[in-house]
Structures are given as structure tokens and as C-alpha cells.
Chains A and B, each alone.
Chain A
Amino acid sequence: MHDCKATRERLNELVGSCEDAQLLKELRQCEACNGEYASLRNTLRLADQAFRAAAPADDFWPAYHARLRQSLENVSKVEAASTPAEWSRVPASLLAFFTASVRVPVPIAAILLLVLSATVDFALRSRRSPVTAPPIIVTKTVEVPVIREKTVTQVVYRRRDRREVASRNANVNPRVPRQNEATLVSLSGFTPTNEVKVTIIKGSYRDEK
């Protein structure tokens, strides 16, 4: 479906290129759009004619060249004067060497970059885990003291009467302090012997004769 408004919006792009075959076909079918297109072409043709007519005469160019040459010489002098003395001492060949550049196609440059990055990566990895010599196994006997635990059982016998006497004394006189309790217990177990053996120790007293 032909749309005159949409077609005319695209005419400016068509003028000068004539590449849109579909649009050209539509123009042939619509007289109004075709007239608009012809008007645009005529406008630009007249503009081109005016541009060509505005070209300067041939006698204009010698003076133009002379002025350009003079300007270039002035620029060269200014550049030479502003060049630092250090640079002027550097040999031109050395300067050209350091400022030289080489044009490398993008695929080759990409491959070179990949190879360089892989090399750097490999170098870094090998630096982190250095290769060491295999370990030497040495057999050595070491005496280790073994601690053995020893269980000692001790049987302690106690006399029952001690406990009975103690309980008896506790019933008779519960207010007696416990420190006297040991004395009583020790006397109750004493058994007198059948034979009396008297031992006289002389000189025990001062007035003894």
C-alpha cells in the first residue's frame, strides 16, 4: 500500500543515491510523489551548478600557492625554534628508531598477544610451584620408652571394736568433745599381761636413794 507521506519523508535520502529500488518503484506508480522527487532533484542540480560556477579562476591559484608555501616555511621555522636542544643532539636515526612503528594486522596481533599471555602465565605458574628433587628415604631406629601402668592393691584391715566403742561413747556422753574420743578408744583395747615385770630405773628423781 503506497503511503505518500511516508514516501516523501524518505525522498531526501533517495536523492543523490538512487539505491532504493522499492521506493523508485513506488514513485513510478504515484504521480504526486514522483513530481516531488523530480523537484528535489532539480533543486540539488541547480545547487550543484551554482557550486561549480563558484570555482575560482585559474589566476587565483598561484597567489594561493605562494601564500601556502610562505605559511609552511613559517611553521617549519617555529617548529625548529621550539624543538628542545636535547632532542636536536640525539641522532636522527636513533630518534627514528624509537619513534618507529610497525603496522600489524589485527589477527596476527591477537595471536601474538595470546602467545605472550600464555608464556607469562606459564612462567608465573612454574615460579609458584618449583620442581624439587625426589626425597631420600633414610631408615633410622629410634627407641621410644613405653610407659607401663602398674596396679597396686593394698588391703587395709580395721578393727571393728573401735567403731563399736566409739559409738558407745557417743551414746553415753554426747557432749564430750571429739578430740578426747581418740584417747578413750586407745585405752579400751589394752589387754594386761599375765606376768608383771617391774623395771626400776635408778636416779630418776633427785632425792632418790
Chain B
Amino acid sequence: MIDSEEELIRQAQRADSDAFCALAERYERRIYSLAFHYCHDSEDAEDLSQEVWLRAYQAIRTFRGDSSFYTWLRRITINCFLNHRRAKSLVGRRPGIEVSSLELVSNAAVSSLDSECMLHNQILLEKVRQALSELTTQQRLIFLLKHYEGMTYEEISEAVGCSTGTAKKSVSRAIAKLRTRLEVAAGKTECVPCTAGEF
């Protein structure tokens, strides 16, 4: 059993599919979740994430270790998402509550929660999905990269191919949509500003 990521990468670069699958297992949940929030559809998310892994497998010989493997993989992911947007226009698509997405809530994850909490999460998820579906795919991608991946505006603008101003506006617009959908009232001060960088 190979544990080292560098060794797995070296094996995968020699067309070892087992090593590549082991590598994929480390990041598949993250990539799938990103794809799911981008697509708003579990089947599309699975197809998109599988495409990301296939492209990564075909291109892994070009990985030279200049950046971390996940940074390299994330760039492939963004390119796949942008190509997916061009190939299949999702703009204006407003899916309703999708049963499959609600079924995605992990039973194991909510085993300690009561049914009320589970229902609360499902409603919350649907509101977030509705808020994000009101954005363009680029705005949605930028928001996810900022608040799900923790990328800086400069990194986002370089990866997506837009200006930092556009990236900032996209994030601002996404937050405004979320605030409206989640019905978070302004002026509530129950949250004390952090001082040590925790969020």
C-alpha cells in the first residue's frame, strides 16, 4: 500500500490506473461537491467530476510538481467546468427540488441528528441551491471558488479569465442572493466579529 502522494503520482505517471484511483480517492469528495454545487444536479455532478478525473489521468504526465497536486487538479476542474458551461448552457435553468439531491444527505452524517434537524438541512440546502441557481454559471463558479475553495480574487481572476473587479462583484451578488433566500436579516449582532482569524 503506497501512502505517499508523490509516489502515487509517479506511479500514475507510468499509466498505473490503480495508483491514480488511489490518488483520486483523496480528493474525489471535494471535486464532486464542487461539481454538485456548480451543476445543481447529482447526475451532472457525477459526469462532470468523472470527466475531471479522466482529463487529469490523461494529463498527469505533464504534472511536474511546480504546485501542489490539488492546485493542479483544481485548474483542470475549473477548465472542465468552463467547457461544460459552453457545451451545455445551464443559464436560466431553474431546477426544482430534486429528490436525488435530497437523498444525498448522508445517513451516516445525520445519524446523530434528529429528523427535525435533517429536514432543516434539506430546506436550507434547497434555499442555497435556489439562490445559486439565480446566478450565472460564471458568478456561481467564482463564488464557489472563493468561499468553498478559499481562493483569492487574483487566483480566481486568473483561473476563470476575468478581472478581479468582476470576481468581487460576482461574490457580492452571490452573497446578496443568499441573504435574500436564506432570509438573514441585516443588523443582527449575535455574531461578534472575530479577531483571531477564525470563521
Contact = CB atoms under 8 A, between A and B. Distances in A.
B33 interface: yes
Contacts of A15: 175, 199
Contact of A53 (B20, B64, B105, B153): B105
A47 B108 contact: no
Interface in A140-168: none
A57 interface: yes
A75 to B, nearest CB: 6
Given A24-B195, A47-B178, A36 B186 contact: yes
Given A27-B193, A41-B191, A69 B104 contact: no
A50 B125 contact: yes
B188 interface: yes
B197 interface: yes
The secondary-structure label for the interface of chain B is helix
B54 A42 contact: no
B27 to A, nearest CB: 12
Contacts of B187: 32, 35-36, 39
A64 B46 contact: yes
B193 A55 contact: no
A88 to B, nearest CB: 14
A130 B80 CA distance: 61
A53 B33 contact: no
Given A43-B178, A75-B57, A16 B17 contact: no
A75 B37 contact: no
Given A24-B195, A34-B193, A65-B21, A16 B146 contact: yes
A38 B172 contact: no
A50 B53 CA distance: 25
B128 A46 contact: yes
17 contacts: A18-B194, A19-B197, A34-B189, A34-B193, A38-B192, A39-B186, A39-B188, A42-B191, A48-B147, A52-B109, A57-B108, A60-B104, A61-B28, A69-B21, A75-B58, A76-B17, A101-B64
